[in-house]
Amino acid sequence: MEDLWELTREAGLLRLLDREAIPDPDTVGDWLRRMGNPETGRAGLVGLGQVRDTLNARLLRHDGHETYTLDVDATLIEAEKQDARWSYHGVKGYMPMLGFLFETPICLVEEFREGNVSPGAGHLAFYVACKTRLPQGKRIARYRADSASYQAELINELESDPVRWAITADQDVAVKAVMAGLAPGAWQEPERGCGYQVAETVHTMNETKAAFRLIIKREERRQRDLFDEDTTPYVYHVVASNWLAEEKTAHEVLVWHNQRGQAENFHKELKRGLGMEQMPSGDFGANAVFFRIGVLAYNLSLGFKRLACPAEWAPQTIATVRWRLMQVAGRLLRHAGQVVLRLVLDADRLAIWKDIRRRCWALSVAT
């Protein structure tokens, strides 16, 4: 409340926002609940989704790419809210699923979910929602995900588009049987002294329309649990993929698939950079609206870094850009009965501000 009271004294900010006052927390909470009210079809959430799609299309038109890698992953937001559900992690919270583009790491689509929703639910529909939101002339050409996406209907859709994909495979009975049938000579060390071995074979699921590569990585267990009934000497990681052998070796597929871990950094930016690690309400719909606003802010900040700021700022975090752009040292002075804030601005920083302003103006005219 004290922070909000301080904001109401910021005449410059209010003038920039064209507002007379900053809404108090109760007013904001009421607005979030109205926007996410299921009785109205969550019309506010739908409208914000249209804003997100329009913003993303404008950003992607300027990025110089025609094809993209889609990284799909869910993230846990812990919450002790009344309506929060228990997740498979053993804590209460929410489990939104997000689709990030690797080349231009905007969040293309986010789906706010209850914590108890199955991690494998709705992956085909989510992929379709992502691909239909790209501007004309651009497409998803590559797809990476964990085992929640290891589903025949999704794989069939990816094959028909066509999309190159790599998905962590479930180590079910069929996959374990394939692994057990590998000859000892099938295991190769991709790099001398790397500490693990790789083998591959061809596999299919009952309902997939085409066979695919099954790439298995194994490494020796470094430590045995005295109470672990599993006495196998190896730990296995299995990736299914339709990359052709002449396009990528088995090891190269594993390396490429591991790059999906970058999505974890996107999650951190969204949570820590914009405060999405906590939800403000006990109402699911209100939290869904709040989270979508956070995604909008994340995409705006990414577009700002990529299109308006110096090129070396692009990989920097939101917190770093905030510090470099706005956290400027200053001194409060009293002069002629007025309080004056004198900023310490060097010529380089002033030149950056002017260049950012020029680029923003050019973008507003172009789009």
Q: Is the pLDDT of residue 119 over 90?
A: no
**Measured CA angle at 109 (ends 105, 110), to 5 deg:** 105
How many whole angstroms separate alpha carbon 180 and alpha carbon 95?
35
Residue 254 has what pLDDT?
95
Token pair of 173, please? 């009975």
Residue 153 has what pLDDT?
97
Q: Taking residues 241-257, what's their average pLDDT?
A: 95
Residue 353 has what pLDDT?
83
What is the DSSP secondary structure assignment for residue 160, as one 8-state letter?
A: H
Q: Is the pLDDT of residue 3 over 60?
A: no
Q: What percent of the chain has pLDDT over 90?
A: 48
Residue 158 has what pLDDT?
97
Query: Pick from 317, 291, 329: which is nearest to 98 by CA?
Result: 291
Say which residue, 229 or 57, is predicted with more confidence: 57
Q: What is the pLDDT of residues 11-41, one digit of tens each?
A: 777 787 787 777 788 888 999 999 999 988 8
Token pair of 8, please? 């109401």
> Which of the four pLDDT bands, split at 50, 70 and 90, describes residue 261?
confident
How many whole angstroms separate alpha carbon 363 and alpha carbon 367?
6
Residue 73 has what pLDDT?
92
Determine the length of the chain.
Answer: 367
> Which of the four pLDDT bands, split at 50, 70 and 90, describes residue 108?
very high
> Which of these ranges, 30-34, 57-61, 75-79, 104-108, has the smallest mean pLDDT?
75-79
Residue 349 — φ and ψ, nearest 5°? -65, -40
| β 67-74/85-86 pair status | unpaired
E strand residue ranges, the chain = 67-74, 77-78, 85-86, 92-94, 97-101, 107-111, 139-145, 164-168, 197-203, 212-220, 234-241, 330-335, 338-343
Q: Is the pLDDT of residue 327 over 80?
A: no
Contacts of 217 (CB under 8 A, 6+ apart): 196, 197, 198, 236, 237, 238, 239, 254
Would you give the distance in Å from CA 135 to the centre of its chain?
Answer: 19
How many whole angstroms separate alpha carbon 53 and alpha carbon 135?
10
Q: Taking residues 197-220, what's their average pLDDT?
A: 94
Residue 57 has what pLDDT?
93
Say which residue, 355 or 126, is predicted with more confidence: 126
Q: What is the pLDDT of residues 134-187, one digit of tens each?
A: 999 999 999 999 999 999 999 999 999 999 999 999 999 999 999 989 998 999
Q: Is the pLDDT of residue 225 over 60?
A: no
> Which of the four pLDDT bands, split at 50, 70 and 90, describes residue 290?
very high
Neighbours of 190 (CB within 10 A): 15
Q: At what angle do helices 284-307 and 43-60 cross, to 10 degrees?
A: 10
Q: At what angle do helices 25-35 and 43-60 cross, to 10 degrees?
A: 90
How many whole angstroms separate alpha carbon 366 and alpha carbon 61?
11
Q: Is the pLDDT of residue 61 over 80?
A: yes
Tokens 């309400």 — which residue?
281
Q: Could you tell me the pTM of the whole model?
A: 0.86
Q: Is the pLDDT of residue 263 over 60?
A: yes
For 32, what's the count of Cα atoms within 13 Å in the CB-facing half-sphere?
23
> Which of the four pLDDT bands, split at 50, 70 and 90, describes residue 2?
very low
Q: Taking residues 264-292, what's their average pLDDT?
A: 89
Q: In what order do the strands lie in the sheet with 139-145?
A: 107-111, 97-101, 67-74, 139-145, 164-168, 234-241, 212-220, 197-203
Residue 126 has what pLDDT?
97
Token pair of 198, please? 């790789």
Q: Is the pLDDT of residue 80 over 80?
A: no
Residue type at position 168: T
Average pLDDT value for the chain: 87
Cα-based distances in Å from 329 to 56, 288, 290, 316, 325 = 34, 37, 32, 21, 11
* Phi-psi group of 258: left, alpha or beta (phi > 0 → left; psi -120 to 50 → alpha; rest → beta): alpha
Quick check: 92 and 85 in contact, CB under 8 A? yes
Residue 245 has what pLDDT?
93
Residue 231 has what pLDDT?
62
How many whole angstroms separate alpha carbon 61 and alpha carbon 158?
24
Residue 367 has what pLDDT?
59
Q: Is the pLDDT of residue 100 over 90?
A: yes
Reduced DSSP (H G I as helix, E B as strand, rest coil) percent helix, strand, coil of the chain, to 5 = 45, 20, 35
